[in-house]
């Protein structure tokens, strides 16, 4: 069978976008949009993909000449949508761990205009050990600072050569935070004031909020897909048709990124807070809080979980009784949004694995679920029992065992180490469990506070965890749906 790169000739477009991240999401969202605006709005641009971590997939992507097939499967306006396209906008890929010079060289391209990124919530971070001389620096904002400095020098501080940053990480004020960290590196590395001024004056940092469910590589359907495509593609990505990109930034950015002309749901707004809060708390909050419960219950995908009479009810009640009451938007709007999200979770055409959502689950819990717990407690002076149960389940999940089978935990090494130590020191007693919970709740590096200070939380988490360990998840969760 032919390979994708042997079946499709790639058109050459000027490299206008630097993309930090080669993951499924960016390929199914931003790169698909670039594909659309090239075809329908004359954007005439391509994307250079930079791998943010040492281990990654750019080599695989490069083997396919940057080409891959995107499937959009689901229901849109009541109609079944199933379409696929070969996305041909990636001009080349760079692994800065072996091609650092090529990475810096790219900064000298006058046509470059945008920087997009998606490095999970863990990515926009500051590492004080990063140095300008490193090849490459560890954190992605440090790599970007080195890139920007190179650009600043190459164009002698030309004000027209700044870049537009649109990060997609699901953290609040992602653009503002990225800029803050870049400025912090500029200071740490004693870079000249004129460079700092250039960062401020010539570059634009937009906050953005993305929404599209991208389960990624459809491993179970790949044989069927190969037969249909009649070529080999190891980077196929599958997503739902729904998409929304809310960008908070100056209106002129819209003229440079003509998404509206291609009929894309890209909104340029003055304040994306309401969109963000609604989406992160309801959609992502439901995902993240369902993962440990549903997975330990024996479910593997979001659809299986939402359609199960017990887990499904648990998730829906969590949304309607514990998340929505903490939000300030109109009740009707929230209920409509939540209903649509539940329908998206039921998408019969895609398998969204709970384990893929579980990546970096601790930091996700902090940004997507914890605010609902704290808000609920503050307004009702009560703890939301299902969300607290989910926190207990998360701690149980990090024990790394599902009915005798090891769970492939994916999180920050320090977090995995913490759990490994805590669970191996656990002596089986109630006191031991209390201590274990206390130490997890005290892990301020993730929570940014000591959660033991939340009145009643430690006891309730311990009680639920004890229940899960004693009865098993199947029995424990039933208590919520009687």
Ligand X SMILES: O=P(O)(O)OC[C@@H](O)[C@@H](O)[C@H](O)[C@H](O)CO
Task: Please tell me whether residue 74 adopts helix, strand or coil conformation.
Answer: strand
Report the nearest approach of ligand X to the CB of residue 269 (Å). 17
Of 29 and 314, CB closest to ligand NAD? 29
Nearest CA to 140 out of 124, 128, 154 is that of 124
Nearest CA to 310 out of 325, 326, 293 is that of 293
Of 21 and 162, CB closest to ligand NAD? 21
Structure tokens at 473: 């998840």
Of 122 and 391, CB closest to ligand NAD? 122
Of 36 and 143, CB closest to ligand NAD? 143
Cβ-contact 22, 49 below 8 angstroms: yes
- Is residue 283 near ligand X by the rule CB under 6 A? yes
Radius of gyration, alpha carbons of the chain: 23
Site string for ligand X, 182-221 (x = CB under 6 A): -----------------------------xxx--------
Cβ-contact 19, 117 below 8 angstroms: yes
- Is residue 214 near ligand NAD by the rule CB under 6 A? yes
**Beta-carbon-side half-sphere exposure of residue 127 (alpha carbons within 13 Å):** 18
Site string for ligand X, 287-306 (x = CB under 6 A): x-------------------
Structure tokens at 61: 């992507």
Shortest Cβ contact with ligand X: which residue? 287
- Is residue 32 near ligand NAD by the rule CB under 6 A? no
Cα(180)–Cα(126) distance, rounded to whole angstroms? 10
Q: Please identify, among the stretches 97-105, 200-208, 212-220, 432-440, the one whose residues bind ligand NAD according to the rule CB under 6 A.
A: 212-220
Q: Which one of ligand NAD, ligand X, none interacts with residue 284, CB within 5 to 8 A by kind?
A: ligand X
Out of 357, 451, 454, 457, the only residue in the binding site for ligand X (CB under 6 A) is 357
Cα(337)–Cα(341) distance, rounded to whole angstroms? 6
Shortest Cβ contact with ligand NAD: which residue? 23
- Is residue 284 near ligand X by the rule CB under 6 A? yes
Of 88 and 211, CB closest to ligand X? 211
- Between the alpha carbon of residue 220 and those of residues 217, 367, 383, the distances in Å are 9, 31, 40
Report the nearest approach of ligand NAD to the CB of residue 461 (Å). 25
Collect all residues with Cβ–Cβ distance below 8 Å to 226 and sequence separation of at least 6: 1, 232, 233
Give backbone dihedrals phi and psi of 442, rounded to 5 degrees, phi first: -85, 0
- Is residue 179 near ligand X by the rule CB under 6 A? no
Question: Using CB under 6 A, which residues numbered 387 to 446 contact ligand X?
Answer: none
- Is residue 52 near ligand NAD by the rule CB under 6 A? yes
- Is residue 247 near ligand X by the rule CB under 6 A? no
Give the number of residues written for the chain.
482
**Beta-carbon-side half-sphere exposure of residue 398 (alpha carbons within 13 Å):** 29
Any idea which residue has 């990109």 for tokens? 245
- Is residue 371 near ligand NAD by the rule CB under 6 A? no
- Is residue 241 near ligand NAD by the rule CB under 6 A? no
Cα(383)–Cα(372) distance, rounded to whole angstroms? 10
- Is residue 118 near ligand NAD by the rule CB under 6 A? yes
Report the nearest approach of ligand NAD to the CB of residue 53 (Å). 4
Task: Please tell me whether residue 93 adopts helix, strand or coil conformation.
Answer: strand
Q: Which one of ligand NAD, ligand X, none interacts with residue 53, CB within 5 to 8 A by kind?
A: ligand NAD
Report the nearest approach of ligand NAD to the CB of residue 139 (Å). 7
- Is residue 137 near ligand NAD by the rule CB under 6 A? no
- Is residue 359 near ligand X by the rule CB under 6 A? yes
Considering CB under 6 A, how many residues would be counted as binding ligand X?
10
Nearest CA to 213 out of 58, 351, 68 is that of 351
Q: In what order do the strands lie in the sheet with 266-269?
A: 207-211, 244-248, 266-269
DSSP bridge pairs for 216: 238
Give backbone dihedrals phi and psi of 129, rounded to 5 degrees, phi first: -85, -10
Cβ-contact 84, 70 below 8 angstroms: yes
Considering CB under 6 A, how many residues would be counted as binding ligand NAD?
21
Of 328 and 408, CB closest to ligand NAD? 408
Residues that bind ligand NAD (CB under 6 A): 21-25, 52-53, 56, 118-120, 122-123, 140, 169-170, 210, 212-214, 216
């Amino acid at each position: 069978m032919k390979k994708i790169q042997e079946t499709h000739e790639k058109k050459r477009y000027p490299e206008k976008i630097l993309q930090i991240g080669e993951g499924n999401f960016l390929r199914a969202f931003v790169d698909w949009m670039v594909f659309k605006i090239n075809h329908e709005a004359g954007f005439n641009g391509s994307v250079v993909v930079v791998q943010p971590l040492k281990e990654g997939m750019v080599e695989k992507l490069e083997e396919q000449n940057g080409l891959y097939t995107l499937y959009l499967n689901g229901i849109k306006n009541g109609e079944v949508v199933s379409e696929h396209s070969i996305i041909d906008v990636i001009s080349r890929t760079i692994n800065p761990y072996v091609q650092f010079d090529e990475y810096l060289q790219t900064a000298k391209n006058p046509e470059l205009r945008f920087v997009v990124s998606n490095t999970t919530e863990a990515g926009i971070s500051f590492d004080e050990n990063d140095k300008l001389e490193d090849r490459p620096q560890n954190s992605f904002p440090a790599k970007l600072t080195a890139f920007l400095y190179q650009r600043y020098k190459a164009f002698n501080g030309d004000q027209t050569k700044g870049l537009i940053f649109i990060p997609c990480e699901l953290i609040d004020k992602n653009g503002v935070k990225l800029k803050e960290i870049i400025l912090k590196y500029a200071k740490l590395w004693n870079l000249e004031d004129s460079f700092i001024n250039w960062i401020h004056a010539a570059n634009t940092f937009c906050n953005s909020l993305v929404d599209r469910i991208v389960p990624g590589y459809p491993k179970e359907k790949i044989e069927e897909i190969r037969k249909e495509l009649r070529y080999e593609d190891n980077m196929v990505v599958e997503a739902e048709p729904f998409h929304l990109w809310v960008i908070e930034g100056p209106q002129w950015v819209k003229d440079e990124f003509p998404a509206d002309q291609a009929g894309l749901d890209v909104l340029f707004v003055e304040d994306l807070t309401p969109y963000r809060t609604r989406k992160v708390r309801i959609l992502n909050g439901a995902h993240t809080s369902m993962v440990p419960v549903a997975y330990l219950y024996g479910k593997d995908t979001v659809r299986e979980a939402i359609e199960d009479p017990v887990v499904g009810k648990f998730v829906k009640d969590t949304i309607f009784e514990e998340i929505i009451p903490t939000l300030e938007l109109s009740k009707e709007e929230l209920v409509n949004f939540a209903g649509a999200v539940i329908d998206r979770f039921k998408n019969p055409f895609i398998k969204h694995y709970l384990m893929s959502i579980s990546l970096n689950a601790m930091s996700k819990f902090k940004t997507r679920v914890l605010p609902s717990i704290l808000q609920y407690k503050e307004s009702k002076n009560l703890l939301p029992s299902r969300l607290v149960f989910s926190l207990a389940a998360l701690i149980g999940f990090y024990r790394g065992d599902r009915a005798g089978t090891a769970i492939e935990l994916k999180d920050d090494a320090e977090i995995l180490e913490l759990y490994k130590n805590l669970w191996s020191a656990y002596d089986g007693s109630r006191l031991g469990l209390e201590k274990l919970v206390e130490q997890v709740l005290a892990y301020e590096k993730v929570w940014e506070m000591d959660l033991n200070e939340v009145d009643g939380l430690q006891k309730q988490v311990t009680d639920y965890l004890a229940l899960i360990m004693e009865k098993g998840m199947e029995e424990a969760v039933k208590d919520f749906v009687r």
